[in-house]
């Protein structure tokens, strides 16, 4: 059973595939595993993760873990823009 974010409507700028990728990241899947599920290259997943971050206005510094921030955004709907 897949976890579904209660806040998926908070991400209207994401495509269905981007939302699914964000969901898989939040479930702990690696880029390699996600690439297999989507039948794309790992590079394509990396690029999609970058586009997701841009869409969510996530700014990742050296002291932040991108996958943790994406997971928090998925489960809370908060992208940290108010900081």
The counts of H helices and E strands in the chain are 4, 0
Bin 35: left if φ > 0, else alpha if -120 < ψ < 50, else beta: alpha
Q: Do the beta carbons of residue 74 and residue 5 sit within 8 Å? A: yes
pLDDT in tens, 29-59: 999 999 999 999 999 999 999 999 988 888 7
| Alpha-carbon span 57 to 35, nearest angstrom | 23
pLDDT of residue 32: 97
The pTM of this model reads 0.79
């Amino acid at each position: 059973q897949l976890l579904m974010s209660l806040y998926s409507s908070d991400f209207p700028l994401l495509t269905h595939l981007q939302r699914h990728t964000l969901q898989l990241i939040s479930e702990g899947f690696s880029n390699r595993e996600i690439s297999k599920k989507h039948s794309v290259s790992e590079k394509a997943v990396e690029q999609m993760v970058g586009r997701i971050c841009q869409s969510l206005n996530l700014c990742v510094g050296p002291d932040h873990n991108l996958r943790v921030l994406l997971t928090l955004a998925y489960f809370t709907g908060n992208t940290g823009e108010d900081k």
